[in-house]
Structure 1
Amino acid sequence: VATDYATLIWGLEPIKTPKSLFDPNDLECGLGEWLASNAVMKRSFRSVATIAGLIERNLPGLQKSGRQATFSSDILYDTLLKYDPDHLMMQITKGEAMRGLVDFSRIRQMLDRINGRIEHRDLPYLSPFSAPLFLEAGRVPVDGQAVERLISEHTEALIEEAGLDF
């Protein structure tokens, strides 16, 4: 979660080197992976697919419901993402998302400008700039290895509690 003044990053373990989280290449890669599974990316794909002629525009008398148009663009998007993620349509969609939704070029310029001068402080209280971030935390799910790790730890605890040995 981020605002103009602060960024909130949370995980299962304390972050020991927060500066490494702001590596432009890793950040762009992670953002791209997150966007790929995001509904906003699918909407961007629908626009790109319509312009490319893969999805019909709604014409008077031949209108599809919004659900039908969404369904067909979602199938195309999911299929290309799974079987041909480097397809030209996917590259264009990612480029549009990186420019229009996120404007990653500005993020990269900012990271180049600050040149690693990121100040990290562990505070015993919420700072005024961080308070809005805590209100937003958890609204947008960010799945990763944490889910698998939590399930694994929970499973091991249940097996141990039951006295089973695997």
Structure 2
Amino acid sequence: MNTFSHINKENQPKMVNVSDKKITKRTAIAKATMFLGTEIISHFTNNELITKKGPVFQTAIIAGIQAVKKTSEIIPMCHPLLINGVDIAIKVSNSEEIETTCKVTIEGKTGVEMEALTGVSATCLTIYDMCKAMSQKMVIKEIKLVEKTGGKSDIKNE
């Protein structure tokens, strides 16, 4: 059985020591599915919705990128990282839902799964914030890690 890496021998929290790990290229992709409803999606033009607060998807992408960069400040055991790249995409999946993906890339000693998950979460929360005046029936339905490469193992969860 695997043990938790963030617990020391005294059963207390610790930050994992990555000093002996090799620097490798690492990526992570997270995905979220979000129910907006036809009431909101019907207002979209060219895959974007302009509200009094501004363009929803563009603003949400910027919020997601900021969240990726701040992950170590909000998730206690995450290492501060020098992020090489963040790519966030939002697309309307059908008449009620959108799909958001966040890909994070780094050359480092630890993975970026939490950064990708945080980025996609902040993106969806920003969409919720910008659209809540139209409807509060929105639901962030699923947030998951889709892919991770680099480090000890590669994972594909699609």
When Rg is computed on C-alpha atoms for both structures, the one with the higher figure is 1
Name the TM-score class by shorter chain. under 0.3
Relative to the length of structure 1, the TM-score reads 0.26
TM-score, normalised by the number of residues in structure 2: 0.27
Structure number having the greater helix percentage? 1
Going by fraction, where is strand more abundant, 1 or 2?
Answer: 2
